[in-house]
Each structure stands twice: as structure tokens, then as C-alpha cells.
Structure 1
Amino acid sequence: MERVDVELFTDGGNDAVVRLPGRRFPGVLIQGDSLHILRSDVAEVVEACGRGDLADAGESAELLLAGLDALLARYSTALENHGMKRPY
């Protein structure tokens, strides 16, 4: 394990926006439990598609998209608050 100093653009939380040394743009640190939930949400969409239940798949996908949109908005706001342009 290596210890490094990072730049913290938001509060710590479950989805902190941080920049690692040597990186031009920050990234989002997702805690392990949150990553597991994200993976489970994607699996739910895949399973519903496999069953041919497009209504259930669509609902699950909409919730997943809303969560990712919120995460992306947090990222964008953090960059704006620090006078940085987005990398996309």
C-alpha cells in the first residue's frame, strides 16, 4: 500500500470527488458498498431483460440512470466550484 496526498473537491461522503497526484482531472471515489449496490442495480436490469420483462428492466434502468445523473451532477458542480472545465 502506498500513501499519497489527494485533492478533495467535495466532502468525504460515499462519492467524494478527488484528484490523485499526476492526474489532470479529478475522479469520483466510490466506496466498496456503493460499488456493490451499483453492480447489483445493473444486474437487475440484465436479469429483467433476460426474462423478457422490459417494463421491469426499464424501471430499473431509469433508477440507475437517475443515480448516475446525480453523481455526474455532483462531479460537475465540484469542478465548477473550483473553476475547472469538465473533461468531456
Structure 2
Amino acid sequence: MERIEAELFTDGGNGAVVRMPGRRFPGVLVQGDSLRILRGAVAEVAEACERGDLDEARDSAGLLLADLDALLARYEAALEEDEIRRPY
């Protein structure tokens, strides 16, 4: 393990916006449990599609999209606050 200093643009909770040394743009820190939940949400969409249950797939995908939109909004707000242009 290596200890480093990173720039923190938001509070340190899940979804923290952090810039690692040597990187031009910050990223979003996703805790392991939250990563597992996101993976589970994608699996639900895939499994519903395999069963042909498009209503369930649509509902699961909508929830996943809302979660990702919230992370993206937090990221974009942090960049805007520090006057950093978006990398996209």
C-alpha cells in the first residue's frame, strides 16, 4: 500500500469527488458496497432482459440511471464550484 495526498472537492462520503496526483481531472470515489449495489442493479436489468420482462428491465434501468445521474450531478457541481472544465 502506498500513502498519497489527493485533492478532495466534496465531503469525504460515498461519491466523493477526488483528484489523484498526476491526474488532470478529478474522479468520483465509489465505496465497495456501493459498487456492489451498482453491479447488482446492472445484473437485474440484464436478467430481466434475458427473461424478456421488459417492464422490469425498464424499471430497474430507470433506478440505475437515477443513481448514476445523482453521482454525475455531484461531480459536475464540484467541478463547476472549482471552475474546472468537464473532461467531456
TM class, shorter-length:
over 0.9
Residue 36, structure 1, aligned to residue 36, structure 2: yes
1:49 Cα offset (Å):
0.3
Structure 1 gap ranges (5+): none
Following superposition of structure 1 onto structure 2, how do residues 23-62 of structure 1 map, counting pairs within 5 Å? 23-62=23-62
1:11 Cα offset (Å):
0.2
Distance 1:14 1:27 in 2: 12
Distance 1:52 1:29 in 2: 34
Structure 2 gap ranges (5+): none
Identity of aligned residues (%): 73
After TM superposition, the runs of 4+ consecutive aligned structure 1 residues lying more than 3 A away are none
The CA RMSD measured in Å over matched residues stands at 0.4
Task: Tell me the TM-score normalised to structure 1 length.
Answer: 0.99
SS in 2 for 1:48: helix
